[in-house]
Amino acid sequence: MSMEPSSPTLQPGMAERAIDTATDVSRTLGEVTAGLRAAVDNLTSALEDARRPGKPLATISAIAREAPLTSLLVAFLFGVAVARRR
């Protein structure tokens, strides 16, 4: 058995594959990041719309500001009711 070093022709191929893989991962991360940004933007706009006066989130916020302990009790009881169903 002779121990010969790896042929030099294999090294550039491995390096090229590594660079291609890194490029693919970078593109994939970019696409995922863009998708997450779009989802966050949609969620932000939905929350802003729900916080407008007369909308449900604005009403819930106002009730919670006026009676925080009562709101906490109602939320706790709602959580218990949902947990018991499962």
| pLDDT for the residue 42 | 96
| pLDDT for the residue 34 | 94
CA distances from 69 to 52, 61, 72, 79, 81 (A): 24, 13, 5, 15, 18
CA distances from 21 to 8, 13, 26, 33, 65 (A): 21, 12, 9, 18, 53
CA–CA dist 57, 70 (Å, integer): 17
| pLDDT for the residue 15 | 80
The encoded tokens of residue 45 equal 């706009």
| pLDDT for the residue 2 | 53
Residues of the chain with pLDDT under 50: none
| pLDDT for the residue 21 | 87
| pLDDT for the residue 12 | 62
| pLDDT for the residue 18 | 85
